[in-house]
Amino acid sequence: LRRRYRPVPDLPPEPDLKKRYDVVIIGGGGHGLATAYYLATVHGIRDVAVLEKGYLAGGNTARNTAIIRSNYLTPEGVAFYDESVRLFQGLSEEFDFNILYSERGHLTLAHTDAAIRTARWRAEVNKHLGVASEVIYPDEIARLAPNLNLSRDVRHPVLGALYHEPGAIARHDAVAWGYATGAARRGVSILQKTEVTGIVKDGDRAIGVETNRGRIEAGQIVQQVAGASTLLADMAGFRLPIRTVPLQACVSLPVKPFLDPIIVSGSLHVYISQTPRGELVMGGASDPYPLYGTRSTLDFKEGLMANMLELFPFLAEMKILRQWAGMTDMSPDFSPIMGETPIRNYWLDSGWGTWGFKATPVVGKRMAETVATGTVPELIRPFRLARFDDIELLGDKGAASVGH
Ligand code: FAD
């Protein structure tokens, strides 16, 4: 048991950089590492380099609020995230490393009749696809979250909620470490402080990358850089319908556990969960301006707390321990963009905005399948870049945790 729950995985030492790899993955976040892991484990493709400009999982993978769920609005989204939740449930066993996966139940509060209607809509789509989701009312909400303020005498009284029992949290950076260790042990090269500065092409085919450590040739390239998606696409020579905006979050000092479910309020633009260590993890809406920066602001904290105190008034004296931001790649329809690009041998995984941590396992599995077979699997085909030309958008804004 002691060996199983060791705190740090045994990541093999970083290998020397080679001049060529069968597959080059740009971005050493959870998505890139998971793709490398499944390429090696499922498809036996091990001549793979993951190039990370900073340090392992130093981007959004370790900056998110770790919420995992599949209660989306579009059938395509629900089926996709459901596969991810199922993969997440087995990851600690698969890695032989504890990712602290904790199933809590997820409550999306409804404060208006319109929000109740959307909750019902989501519940019906979810149930149709076998995902546990139902609309519940204040007596049941009080049973699940006895500390939540359910008074009618507030600005936005809680009328009901969408309850999603499989909603969970996990230790986000542990997910990246698990994938990294599993991939590296099978021969994948994970190269930190290696920044891609250009894409080398022969006509409409990508054949390699320029980096701060020199040119690297590649059989195939996968772009998995979250907030830097449009910058890399620009290097490759195509455009993405993506805006990069900061998203902030914060965590309190640890206190005695009192909150089991994850609570989200779209109307109040806040969400909160409590980690196994007792910290309250809190977030809200995106910053209202595009920016390549991870600066946190007083404005965010003040706005968040004003609304948070309506749900949990007794938190007024709670101390904030840390506040931070990540750069999120927002797509117009709040769905990811994956698969083919106008450049041959150059695959895309982007548009993860504020919702991509929960997708880490399914992205890894399905992007690896895409690269290995050269064919985009049915599960992710609806998320293709070409949907914006075909006007076949996948509107999932109604299932975003808060307004963005
Ligand atoms: P990243 O982890 O950002 O990895 C991309 C990597 O690419 C980075 O490490 C970066 O350094 C690297 N890179 C960039 N440019 C280059 C280059 N030129 N060369 C080499 N490397 C490069 N999602 C959820 O599902 N649930 C949540 O609760 C949630 N909460 C969030 C809260 C916040 C505050 C933020 C910021 C995001 C949240 N998200 C959430 C979204 C989620 O974090 C991301 O969608 C997800 O982590 C994206 O994973 P990734 O591996 O693609 O990106």
CA of 141 to the centre of ligand 1 (A): 32
Mutation probe of ligand 1 site: the residue of 25, 56, 64 with most atoms within 8 A of C-beta: 64
At 102, is the secondary structure helix, strand, or coil? strand
pLDDT tens across 54-84, in order?
999 899 999 999 999 999 999 999 999 999 9
Q: Which residue has the tokens 């299932």?
A: 399
Which residues in the chain come in under a pLDDT of 70? 1-8, 401, 403-404
Mutation probe of ligand 1 site: the residue of 60, 245, 349 with most atoms within 8 A of C-beta: 60
CA of 58 to the centre of ligand 1 (A): 8
Ligand 1 atom index nearest CA of 352: 45
What distance in Å separates the CA atoms of residue 396 and residue 404, rounded to the nearest whole number?
12
Ligand 1 atom index nearest CA of 356: 45
pLDDT tens across 118-144, in order?
999 999 999 999 999 999 999 999 999
Output the CA torsion sign for 25, 26, 32, 33: positive
Ligand 1 atom index nearest CA of 59: 3
Kindly give, in sequence order, each residue whose CB lies less than 8 Å from that of residue 35, ignoring residues fewer than 6 positions away: 25, 222, 224, 349, 363, 364, 367, 368, 371
ipTM for the predicted complex: 0.99
Q: Give the residues surrounding ligand 1 with Cβ less than 6 Å away.
A: 26-32, 51-54, 57-61, 63-67, 195-196, 224-226, 228, 232, 247-249, 283, 326, 328, 352, 354-358
Q: What is the pLDDT of residue 2?
A: 46
- Chain CA centroid to CA 267, Å: 22
Rounded to the nearest 10°, the torsion over CA 152, 156, 161, 167 is: -120
What string of DSSP letters covers 200-245? EEETTEEEEEEETTEEEEEEEEEE--GGGHHHHHHHHT---S-EEE
* CB distance 404 to 269 below 8 Å: no
Mutation probe of ligand 1 site: the residue of 194, 225, 245 with most atoms within 8 A of C-beta: 225
Q: Which residue has the tokens 């971005």?
A: 27
Q: What is the pLDDT of residue 266?
A: 87
Q: What is the pLDDT of residue 1?
A: 43
CA of 332 to the centre of ligand 1 (A): 18
Residue nearest to atom 39 of ligand 1 (CA): 354
Query: Which CA distances in Å does 68 have to 227, 305, 357, 358?
Result: 20, 23, 7, 5
CA of 127 to the centre of ligand 1 (A): 30
At 279, is the secondary structure helix, strand, or coil? coil
Q: How far apart are the first and last CA of the chain?
A: 43
Q: Which residue has the tokens 């640890």?
A: 254
CA of 98 to the centre of ligand 1 (A): 21
pLDDT tens across 222-269, in order?
999 999 999 999 999 999 999 999 999 999 999 999 999 999 998 899
